[in-house]
Amino acid sequence: MTDRLVIALAQLNPTVGAVAANLAKARQAHAAAREAGADLVLYPELYIAGYPPEDLVLRASFVTACREAVEDLARDTAQGPAILIGLPWRDGKKLHNAVALLNQGKIETLRFKHDLPNYGVFDEKRVFDAGPAPGPISFKGVRLGVPICEDIWTEESCETLAETGAEILLVPNGSPFEQNKDDTRLNLVVARVTETGLPLAYLNQIGGQDELVFDGASFVLNADRTLALQMPMFEEALAVTEWIRGAQGWRMNKGEIARLPEKEEETWLACVLGLKDYVEKNRFPGVVLGLSGGIDSAVVAAMAVDALGADRVHCVMLPYAYTSRDSLVDAEACAEALGVRYDVVPIKEPVEGFLSALKPLFDGRNIDTTEENIQSRSRGVILMAISNKFGSMVLTTGNKSEMSVGYATLYGDMNGGFNPIKDVYKTQVYRLARWRNANRPAGLAGPAGTIIPERIITKAPTAELRENQTDQDTLPPYDALDDILSGLVEEELPVADIVKRGHTEALVRRVQHMLYVAEYKRRQAAPGVKITRRNFGRDRRYPIVNGFRDRS
């Protein structure tokens, strides 16, 4: 029995399926923790597999590889420190989301996740079996409760642990980022600490995985609900914490309290990390995108430079007859401010070639959006050709407002492998541009200062597919559109409630119809970073064939 514990919290960035790489990173953290005198190292949920592993865990060979890696890592604990690490674990016919205690050179004990999430982006009940209500793990005479992520979102698991003698709660997490979620987590942990009277260490992973970004922001609350430790957001870190047993139980000596970004800063950093890890983990040499002189492509270009550095970002202007002189000047100025390679590839010849080929079929019909879409699709073909030739991944640049109502062209401006602003409404795109011009947080690869020219921010948005076109020829003003969409998508409000916000009923119904009929486009869109509570992806699974319209 001991009255002092040193626990290292390893806030790391694993890669799903990269078992050997995750093991190597775990070893580095373990060695650093040993050097710091730690007794125990805690890793995030399912760390050795990466989170979320989805159907990978249905492959017996993958589960075996994870187990063998953890058995290998266990040998490192012969000289200490011990380890608590997450992995998928096969127990007879059942497959569990598990945490293993590695101690004295072997896997000493296991605990299984009890409450499996099955909402939003989570579908763990599809691949895992729920474990029994967890009991404490005895380590050096201290009874440690190890509820896994979702186990603390309801009262049962923590209450069971407290009732069975747990003294400290150590919680490994794979909790995805969304705006303002750090406040939600803190309030949740305050509730668990209040109910149990126990201190709680909340450890979260960081990094991008497909559409998800994990922000870290790990922290410790003592039993009196005071904040003893706050780890940074969006950064790998190892915090070595000291715990002392006193008359009132265990308490962590106060550690570093990192500043957490808010509002546009946290959104920007999430988009940058999601983009960076998507490119890096998929081993693309860089990215290419169309730089139109508009706000969306300028913001995406800036995010790409912040994520990868200017030398890995290629911007291409693809002008046609309707491209204004201002757009040409603005795109070039943005590329120059960012320091990226910038090329101009006119699309007059391919567009006119398509129109010539289709002329016999289209004879006698009026010009309409068909011809506009040929311009967009010509640009898409050229960007994909550049990608094929040089290996860079195409970034697509449509914002959430446009994706919501289908203001995008399939196989045209929707072409691409990833979209960092897919879940960012147009009004926030403008706020992000202004924020980034005034701020450059440490760790970003892009330059400081005005990197998005002011004229790009202030001019009326336009696709420039016909003379004197603006977005508001087709769409309502973006402040109204985004408020309606937030009500329909994030809040699932009936039409009548959105009308009460000050919109006409006809406009709300029109936007609702546009939202529903664009579902087929969104199913074919590139993945993008989840920012809001309900992104277009696994968060929101609407049918493509859908005859329902809200009548109230």
- The verdict on whether omega for the bond into residue 453 sits within 30 degrees of 0, i.e. cis, is no
Q: What is the DSSP letter of 527?
A: P
Q: What is the DSSP letter of 288?
A: E
Say if residue 254 is exposed, middle or buried (CB neighbours under 10 Å; 0-12, 13-18, 19+).
middle
Catalytic (active site) residue 140: no
Q: How far apart are CA 52 and CA 208, in angstroms?
A: 11
Catalytic (active site) residue 113: yes
261 contacts: CB under 8 Å, gap ≥ 6: 233, 234, 269, 441
Cα 426 to chain centroid distance, Å, stands at 18
The CA–CA distances, whole Å, from 304 to 140, 373, 389, 411, 451 equal 48, 26, 20, 22, 12
Neighbours of 157 (CB within 10 A): 25
Q: How far apart are CA 35 and CA 552, in angstroms?
A: 64
Q: What is the DSSP letter of 293?
A: S
Beta strands across the sheet bearing 313-317: 341-344, 313-317, 287-290, 393-394
Beta strands across the sheet bearing 137-139: 137-139, 142-145, 168-173, 200-204, 219-221, 227-230
**Considering only CA atoms, which of 48, 77, 82 is closest in space to residue 64?**
48
Q: How far apart are CA 57 and CA 94, in angstroms?
A: 12
CB of 38 closer than 8 Å to CB of 19: no
| Beta partners for residue 220, in sequence order | 201, 229
Q: How far apart are CA 129 and CA 121, in angstroms?
A: 18
Q: For the chain, how many helices (H) and strands (E)?
A: 16, 19
Q: Which one of 25, 66, 124, 149 is the catalytic residue?
A: 149
CB of 193 closer than 8 Å to CB of 181: no
Catalytic (active site) residue 149: yes
Q: Which one of 113, 281, 422, 426 is the catalytic residue?
A: 113
Q: Which one of 25, 45, 150, 167 is the catalytic residue?
A: 45
Catalytic residue numbers, as ranges: 45, 113, 149
